[in-house]
Chains A and B, each alone.
Chain A
Amino acid sequence: MKTLKTLSLLAVSAVVLAACAVPTPSAPAQPQQPGQPAPTEQAAQPAKKIKVGLVTDVGSLDDRSFNASAWEGVQRAVRDFGVEAKAIESKQPTDYIKNIQTFVNEEYDLIITVGFLMGDDTRKAAEMYPNQKFAIVDVGYFGENAPKNVMGLLFAEDQSGFLAGVVAGLMTKSNVVGGVYGLAIPPVCRFRKGYENGVKFVNPNARILGVYQGPADGTPFNNPQWGAARARDQMNEGADVIFSAGGTTGNGGLEEIAKAQGVLGIGVDQDQYYTLSENVRKILLTSAMKRVDQATYLAVKSVVDGAFQGGNRVFDITNDGIGLAPFHELEDKVPQSVRDKLQEVIEGLKNGTIKTGLEGVANPCE
C-alpha cells in the first residue's frame, strides 16, 4: 500500500506541476513596451470579462518560437484590454480536440488554436459549435464550406523568407547557403522556397542546401540534436549562412552554428535574438519574422471591439505582418550595399514589382 502511495504521489505531483505551469496572466502588470499602441481607456473594461483560450500545437508554450509568439500577442491583449486568458498545451495531436472542448465547455468567448496541424480539428469543432468564435494561426479555409465562425490568420512566409534569402545570398563568402527546416507543412515550405528564391534573386550562382525534418526524425519541431547534426552536414559542405526554420529542431541548428567559426545563422518566426541563448546571439544575423503575436492580438481585439468576423486574413509585408529582424550584434558586419539592396527588395515586394514566386501557390510543399 505504501508503494502505491509513493507512486500516486509522484504521479499527482507531476500532473500538478504540469498544470500550474501555465500561469494565467492578470490584467496590466508589465510596463508598456515602446512602439506599441497605447491602451485605449474607453475601449476596455466591459461588464463581463471576455475570456480567451489558446490551444498550442504539439510543443510547449515556451518553444521560444511559434507558440510563444502566439501567446505573447494574447498577453498583450490582456494588458491592453483587460481580457482574461488561459492556455492549454497539446502534448500530442490527439489532445487538440480535447483541449478545444475544454474551452468550449467553460464558455470562452474566443478560442485560438495555433498551427497548421490543428486545421482539421478546429474545423470540426467550429462546425459542431457554430456560435463559438475561433481563430486559427496558419490555416485558412476556402470554398463554400468554409466555417463562418473561424478567423484564419495567414502569413506571407514566402516574403519573410525571401528577405532572409536576400541577406543570406549577399552575405555568403563561400557561396554556399543552407537551411534546416521543420516538417514540410505549408508555412515551413513557404519559408524555405521564399528563402531559396531570395538567394537566387541576388546571387544566382550560389549553391543552396536544405533539409526538412522527416516525420520519423524524432519529435516534430522538437529534436535539437537532429537539427544540430544537419547543420554540421551543411557546414561540412561549406555553407556559411544557414537559415533555421523549425522550432527547437531549428534552434539546435543555430546552436551548432555558434560553435563553428565564421558561420552565420538566421532565425525564424520572431526576433530570436531575444529568445535564444547568448551563444546564438553572437552569430544570429537576423530572423525571418512572421508577426504571429500581431495576428493573435488583432484577433482578440476584434472580439473586444465586437467586430469579429469569420474568414481569412493575410498578414504580409504591406501590413507589417511579416518582416526581417534587426541585425543586432552583427550590425557592423552588414555592409551598406546589403542594406540598400534589402531596402530595394522590401519596396519591390510592397509595390508588387518583385515577386517571391509563390504568389497564389496553393500547395507550396509540392
Chain B
Amino acid sequence: MIESITEVLVRIDYLFLLATALRASTPIVFAALGGIFSERSGVINIALEGMMLTSAYVCYKAAVIFNSPWLGLATGVLSAMVLALLHGVISIRYRTNQVVSGTVLNIFAAGITGFLFRVLGAQESAPYLPNMNMPLVRDLPLLGNQPLLTWVMLLMIALTTFVLFRTRWGLRTRAVGELPRAADTAGVAVNRVRYVNVMIGGMMAGLGGAFFTLHTVSSFTPLMTSGQGFIGLAAMIFGNWTPLPALLAAMLFTVPQALAGQFQMFGVPLPYQLISTLPYVLTIITLAGVVRRSTPPAALGVPYVK
C-alpha cells in the first residue's frame, strides 16, 4: 500500500476532505463563539470544555429518556447554561479569579459526568439529530448531508457577527469588556450585560456538546470532548475574538487533521506519528508568520466594582 506522496495527493477527494474538516470544526467553533460572547464582555471562560462535556452527557441522557433528540438538545443546552450561570456568579458576583473558577468547573464537569455515566450507564442508543439530507440540499457541495448542528454553527457565526458589531446589545457588550467604567457612566448595567453574555456563551458550548452525542456517536463516554473546548479557545484567540476568523482558525486545525487521516489511509511513506502533528505544526507556523498580534478585550478578567 506504499505509494508516493504525489500519487496520493492526486487521489485525495478534496471536497470530501473539506467537508470532513468543516464537520470536525463544529464543536470547536461553538466553543470559540461561546468564548467570544463571554470574553468580549470581559469574563474569561476556560470552563467551555466542562460545559461541552456536561451538555454532551445531558443531551445523551435526556434524548434517551424523552426518546427525542430535540428535547435532548434543549436539556443539554440548558445544563451548560446552568454551569455558565454558576461561572457567572462565582466570577462576577464574588469576583473570584476567573481562571480558577473555570478550572474548578472543568474538574467538576469531568467528575459529575463520569460519576453519572458509571451509575446510570450508557447502553441505550440516543436518537440522532438529523443530517441535512433533504432533496436539493443533499447534493450541495461541502454543505450537503452535513449534520444539522454544522449548519447551525455557520448560522451562529453570521448571527454572532451581526449581534456583536451591528446591534446596540453588541456595542454594550464590547463597551463592558473594554471600558466598563465608561459604560457604567453611560447607564449600562455592566454586570447584567456580563451575566447574559456568559450565559449565551454557555448556550454555545451546550450546542457544541450536543454535537458529540447527538451527531457523532449515539452514546456517551467519559471525557469524550477530548480537549476540543480548549482548541476552541485557541481558535477564538487566533481569530482575534471575531467569529468568522475563528472558523478559519478552527479549519487551520481540522484540515491538516483530515489530511493526515487521508495520508495515513493511502499509505504515504511518512511516519504517521509525524503526520498527526501536522495540525500543530501548521498552527504554529501560521501564528508566528501570518497572524498579527491578537488583542484581547481590555477589561478581560477584571471584575467590575462600582
Residues in chain A within 8 A of chain B (CB atoms): 2-4, 6-7, 10-11, 13-15, 17-18, 20-22, 60-64, 184, 208-219, 222-226, 228-230, 232-234, 236-237, 248, 251-252, 255-256, 258-259, 276-280
If A3-B90, A6-B94, A17-B114 touch, whether A208 touches B1 (CB-CB below 8 Å) is: yes
Chain B residues in 8 Å Cβ range of A278: 123-125
Which of A6, A13, A229, A280 lies in contact with B23, CB distance below 8 A? Answer: A229
Let me know if B219 and A217 touch, CB within 8 A. Answer: no
Residues 5-29 of chain B, each 1 if its beta carbon lies under 8 Å from chain A, else 0: 0000000010010001001100100
If A3-B90, A10-B104, A248-B224 touch, whether A211 touches B217 (CB-CB below 8 Å) is: no
Separation in Å of the B271 CB from the closest CB of chain A? 9
* B260 at interface, CB cutoff 8 A: yes
Residues 92-112 of chain B, each 1 if its beta carbon lies under 8 Å from chain A, else 0: 001110001100110110111
Surface stretch bound by A, among B67-75, B163-171, B237-245, B274-282 = B274-282
Q: How far is the CA of A230 from the CA of B273 in the complex (A)?
A: 16
Separation in Å of the A350 CB from the closest CB of chain B? 30
B interface residues, how many (CB within 8 angstroms): 55
Chain A residues in 8 Å Cβ range of B101: 7
* B118 at interface, CB cutoff 8 A: yes
If A217-B257, A255-B219, A259-B128 touch, whether A17 touches B115 (CB-CB below 8 Å) is: yes
Let me know if A211 and B114 touch, CB within 8 A. Answer: no
Surface stretch bound by A, among B31-39, B176-184, B261-269 = B261-269
Q: Which 10 A-B pairs have the closest CB atoms?
A: A214-B276, A14-B111, A3-B94, A255-B217, A17-B115, A277-B125, A218-B226, A279-B125, A277-B219, A278-B125
Which of A62, A230, A252 lies in contact with B261, CB distance below 8 A? Answer: A230
Chain A residues in 8 Å Cβ range of B90: 3, 6-7
Let me know if A216 and B279 touch, CB within 8 A. Answer: yes
Which of A2, A17, A224, A233 lies in contact with B224, CB distance below 8 A? Answer: A224
Which of A21, A215, A251 lies in contact with B115, CB distance below 8 A? Answer: A21
Let me know if A214 and B272 touch, CB within 8 A. Answer: yes
Let me know if A13 and B125 touch, CB within 8 A. Answer: no
If A222-B226, A223-B226 touch, whether A10 touches B105 (CB-CB below 8 Å) is: yes
Q: How far is the CA of A226 from the CA of B226 in the complex (A)?
A: 10
Separation in Å of the A14 CB from the closest CB of chain B? 3
Separation in Å of the B56 CB from the closest CB of chain A? 10
The 15 sampled A-B contact pairs (Cβ below 8 Å) are A7-B90, A13-B108, A18-B111, A60-B118, A211-B265, A213-B276, A215-B277, A216-B277, A224-B216, A225-B228, A230-B261, A233-B265, A276-B219, A278-B124, A279-B218
Query: Which of B101, B212, B219, B262 counts the most A-chain CB atoms under 10 A from its CB?
Result: B219
Let me know if B261 and A215 touch, CB within 8 A. Answer: no
Query: Which of B16, B111, B275, B280 counts the most A-chain CB atoms under 10 A from its CB?
Result: B111
* B296 at interface, CB cutoff 8 A: no
Separation in Å of the A323 CB from the closest CB of chain B? 24
If A14-B110, A234-B265 touch, whether A7 touches B279 (CB-CB below 8 Å) is: no
Query: Which of A14, A60, A219, A258 counts the most B-chain CB atoms under 10 A from its CB?
Result: A14
Residues 153-197 of chain B, each 1 if its beta carbon lies under 8 Å from chain A, else 0: 000000000000000000000000000000000000000000000
* B141 at interface, CB cutoff 8 A: no
If A209-B1, A212-B272, A222-B222 are given as contacts, then 16 extra A-B residue pairs at C-beta distance below 8 Å, sorted by A number, are A14-B104, A14-B108, A14-B110, A14-B111, A60-B222, A60-B223, A62-B222, A214-B275, A215-B276, A216-B273, A216-B280, A217-B260, A233-B16, A233-B262, A255-B218, A277-B217
Separation in Å of the B78 CB from the closest CB of chain A? 19
Chain B residues in 8 Å Cβ range of A212: 264, 272
Chain A residues in 8 Å Cβ range of B258: 229, 233
Chain A residues in 8 Å Cβ range of B221: 60, 63-64, 222, 224, 248, 251
Which of B112, B227, B261, B279 lies in contact with A219, CB distance below 8 A? Answer: B227
Q: How far is the CA of A217 from the CA of B104 in the complex (A)?
A: 25
Let me know if A14 and B112 touch, CB within 8 A. Answer: yes
* B122 at interface, CB cutoff 8 A: yes
Q: How far is the CA of A20 from the CA of B276 in the complex (A)?
A: 37
Separation in Å of the B187 CB from the closest CB of chain A? 28
Let me know if B96 and A7 touch, CB within 8 A. Answer: yes
* B117 at interface, CB cutoff 8 A: yes
* Chain A residue nearest to B122 in the complex (CB): A277
Separation in Å of the B98 CB from the closest CB of chain A? 12
Chain A residues in 8 Å Cβ range of B27: 225
Let me know if B111 and A277 touch, CB within 8 A. Answer: no
Separation in Å of the A118 CB from the closest CB of chain B? 19
Residues 203-246 of chain B, each 1 if its beta carbon lies under 8 Å from chain A, else 0: 00000000010001111011110111000000000000000000
Separation in Å of the B161 CB from the closest CB of chain A? 26
* Chain B residue nearest to A18 in the complex (CB): B111
Chain B residues in 8 Å Cβ range of A236: 13, 16
Let me know if B114 and A228 touch, CB within 8 A. Answer: no
Chain B residues in 8 Å Cβ range of A232: 20
Chain B residues in 8 Å Cβ range of A255: 216-219
Let me know if A10 and B108 touch, CB within 8 A. Answer: yes
* Chain A residue nearest to B60 in the complex (CB): A277
Let me know if B265 and A214 touch, CB within 8 A. Answer: no
Let me know if A215 and B265 touch, CB within 8 A. Answer: no
Q: How far is the CA of A362 from the CA of B258 in the complex (A)?
A: 32
Let me know if B123 and A277 touch, CB within 8 A. Answer: yes
Chain A residues in 8 Å Cβ range of B100: 7
* Chain A residue nearest to B106 in the complex (CB): A14
Chain B residues in 8 Å Cβ range of A10: 104-105, 108
Let me know if B226 and A233 touch, CB within 8 A. Answer: no
Chain B residues in 8 Å Cβ range of A3: 90, 94-96
Chain B residues in 8 Å Cβ range of A61: 118
* Chain B residue nearest to A254 in the complex (CB): B217
Interface residues of B in 118-150 (CB under 8 A from A): 118, 122-125, 128
Let me know if A62 and B219 touch, CB within 8 A. Answer: no
* Chain B residue nearest to A230 in the complex (CB): B261
